[in-house]
């Protein structure tokens, strides 16, 4: 639209002309919105509000009298408030490049003043302190011209050919070099130790690998040997089983043959022997019975004959006592005993005869009694011409 003006976001529009709405200011300040401006009656100018930069290179003398070449960079801009815009517009509107030049000169003076109150060590080690003090001392002066400083950076400090900073840094350099050497030695040692550990690990791995290979080789050889022996062993086991089976078969055949022989020969022989034994026992029993019957018949006849001859035997025994010298020790009782002894002697003779006859019957011949006939209970006194007989009882 004709006569309507709008400033850029980083600009302030300054409208001059007329007196309405100025409030004692030489121009009206418009930021952030447009304004209708009557042509011919009003004049419009624009002041930048963007960031500006100023570089300062200055030779300063420290409190110790050592010259330092200091290089700094200042970042500044026009303040956003109306008062700052008016102050900056009145000073720099026609030549806005003068803001950087003037700012550099202002900071150069403050920088020389502050460095002159500090030592080289403080300047080198406390740059932030130097920058903060320069900002504080220049803040009021910069506000008067409508400018604000955003930052101040000390880019370099150089003492030229004096070598003070190098000398000051020599102990630190030496310490740093020493630490660097120590660190390098530690790193080298760690590297060597790591290499040694790696070498040991490789050797151990190689040893384990060799052991495993040897074990595998031994297992393979053992398996091959077992495989090579498997055939003969299997054949030997098979032959052994065949021999065992043949042996068992032979034993069974021998047992069967033995059973057959027992059934065919032994059992019939035992049966025949048993039959012959039974027949022999039966024949012997028959003969025994016949012999006993014959002997019984003969004993009956003999007993009858002996009974008939017993009085004669006793008589002959008594006759033998007639010429004997008999001493009777106990009177009538002794005579009774002699008589009883004669009768008993006769019965004993009878039994002996019967036994001899029985022996004759069993042996087929008669045995002749040996020795003289003896009577118990008496003694015969020998006469002239008699010989003593052994075994004769003596009279009591």
Q: What is the DSSP string of 1-49?
A: -TTEE---TTEEEEEESSSTT-TT-SSEEE-SS-EE--TTT-EEEEEE-
Cβ 10 vs Cβ 48: under 8 Å = yes
Cα(301)–Cα(304) distance, rounded to whole angstroms? 5
> How high is the pLDDT of residue 87?
86
Cα(60)–Cα(259) distance, rounded to whole angstroms? 142
- Give the mean pLDDT of the chain: 77
Sign of CA dihedral 306, 309, 315, 320: negative
DSSP secondary structure code for residue 325 in this structure: -
Rounded to whole angstroms, the maximal C-alpha distance in the chain is 232
Residue located via tokens 């003090």: 133
Angle at 135 between CA 132 and CA 136, to 5 degrees: 85
> How high is the pLDDT of residue 208?
92
pLDDT at residue 334 greater than cutoff 60: no
142 is written with which tokens? 């910069």
Cα(103)–Cα(39) distance, rounded to whole angstroms? 35
Cβ 302 vs Cβ 356: under 8 Å = no
144 is written with which tokens? 């008067």
Phi-psi region of 290 (alpha: psi -120 to 50; beta: other; left: phi over 0): alpha
Mean pLDDT of 269-280: 84
32 is written with which tokens? 């952030």
- Which ranges constitute the DSSP H helices of the chain? 82-92, 98-116, 120-125, 127-144, 164-261, 267-320, 331-363
> How high is the pLDDT of residue 369?
43
Cβ 29 vs Cβ 86: under 8 Å = yes
Sign of CA dihedral 371, 373, 377, 380: negative
Cα(276)–Cα(269) distance, rounded to whole angstroms? 10
Mean pLDDT of 145-173: 84
Which residues touch 46 (CB under 8 Å, ≥6 apart)? 7, 8, 11, 12, 13, 14
Cα(301)–Cα(313) distance, rounded to whole angstroms? 18
CA–CA distances in Å: residue 131 to residues 103, 115, 141, 357? 15, 10, 16, 178
120-140 pLDDT, tens digit per residue, is 888 888 888 888 888 888 888
166 is written with which tokens? 């190098």
Angle at 319 between CA 315 and CA 321, to 5 degrees: 120
Would the pTM count as exceeding 0.75? Answer: no
Backbone phi, psi, residue 17, to 5°: 110, 140
Cα(135)–Cα(152) distance, rounded to whole angstroms? 7
Cβ 60 vs Cβ 117: under 8 Å = no
pLDDT at residue 211 greater than cutoff 90: yes
DSSP secondary structure code for residue 390 in this structure: T
Select the more confidently predicted residue: 151 or 301. Answer: 151
pLDDT at residue 144 greater than cutoff 60: yes
For the ranges 53-67, 130-144, 225-239, 300-314, the lowest mean pLDDT is seen at: 300-314
Report which listed range, 135-139, 210-214, 341-345, is most confident. 210-214
Nearest to 354 by CA among 319, 394, 305, 308: 305
Nearest to 87 by CA among 37, 19, 138, 148: 148
């Amino acid at each position: 639209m004709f006569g309507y003006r709008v400033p850029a976001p980083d600009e302030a529009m300054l409208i001059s002309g007329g007196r309405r709405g100025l409030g004692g200011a030489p121009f009206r300040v418009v930021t952030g919105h447009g304004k209708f401006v009557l042509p011919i009656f009003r004049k419009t100018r624009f002041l930048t509000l963007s960031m500006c930069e100023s570089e300062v290179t200055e030779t300063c003398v420290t409190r110790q009298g050592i010259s330092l070449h200091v290089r700094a960079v200042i970042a500044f801009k026009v303040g956003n408030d109306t008062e700052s815009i008016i102050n900056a517009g009145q000073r720099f509107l026609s030549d806005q490049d003068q803001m950087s030049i003037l700012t550099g000169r202002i900071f150069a003076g403050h920088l020389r003043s502050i460095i002159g109150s500090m030592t080289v060590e403080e300047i080198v080690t406390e740059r932030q302190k130097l920058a903060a003090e320069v900002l504080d001392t220049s803040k009021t002066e910069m506000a008067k011209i409508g400018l604000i400083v955003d930052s101040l950076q000390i880019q370099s400090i150089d003492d030229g050919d004096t070598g003070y900073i190098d000398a000051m840094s020599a102990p630190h350099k030496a310490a740093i070099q020493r630490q660097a050497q120590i660190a390098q030695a530690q790193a080298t040692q760690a590297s060597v130790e790591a290499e040694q550990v790696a070498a040991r690990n490789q050797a151990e791995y190689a040893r384990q690998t060799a052991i495993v290979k040897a074990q595998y080789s031994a297992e393979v050889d053992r398996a091959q040997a077992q495989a090579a022996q498997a055939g003969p062993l299997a054949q030997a086991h098979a032959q052994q089983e065949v021999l065992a089976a043949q042996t068992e078969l032979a034993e069974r055949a021998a047992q069967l043959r033995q059973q057959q022989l027992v059934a065919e020969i032994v059992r019939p022989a035992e049966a025949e022997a048993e039959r012959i034994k039974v027949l022999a026992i039966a024949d012997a029993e028959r003969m025994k019975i016949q012999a006993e019957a014959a002997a019984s018949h003969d004993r009956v006849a003999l007993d009858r004959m002996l009974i008939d001859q017993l009085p004669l035997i006793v008589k002959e025994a008594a006759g033998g006592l007639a010429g004997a010298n008999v001493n009777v020790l106990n009177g009538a009782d002794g005579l009774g005993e002699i008589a009883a002894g004669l009768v008993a002697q006769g019965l004993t003779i009878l039994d002996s005869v019967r036994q001899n006859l029985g022996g004759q019957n069993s042996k087929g011949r008669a045995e002749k009694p040996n020795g003289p006939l003896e009577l118990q209970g008496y003694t015969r006194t020998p006469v002239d011409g008699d010989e003593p007989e052994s075994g004769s009882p003596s009279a009591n």
